[in-house]
Amino acid sequence: MFGFKKRDAVAQEAAARQVTLGDGQTYTVVRQIDCLGDSCPRPQLMTKKTISQVAPGEIIEVMVDNPSSMEALPPMCDEIGATHLETLKAERCWQVYIRKD
């Protein structure tokens, strides 16, 4: 319905990749969630779902272009058993990095 299922499946199966954050450490991102064009609460719901599917210590990347969604993700991490590592501003979105506790 609404074409989201196909996009969600592709985003969830993205290959693991390395990213270096502001603390100088390199992390392996195991899942990427593409929430471009989505507004609240979809990015939060997709983040919560993905965190429940990964192992403790694994990193996910949430791509959002909605300012209120970007601001809502870091405070939500405590509720879902995760840690906000960093939010980076990219050319057309924010990349929010979250580690499952």
What distances in angstroms separate CA 18 from CA 59, 71, 100, one per listed residue?
10, 24, 17
What distances in angstroms separate CA 67 from CA 15, 44, 60, 89, one per listed residue?
26, 13, 19, 11
**Residue 93 annotated as catalytic:** no
- Other Cβ atoms less than 10 A from the Cβ of 81: the count is 12
Given a contact cutoff of 8 angstroms between Cβ atoms, the answer to whether 60 and 51 are in contact is: yes
Q: Which of 35, 40, 77, 93 is catalytic?
A: 40
Catalytic residues: 40
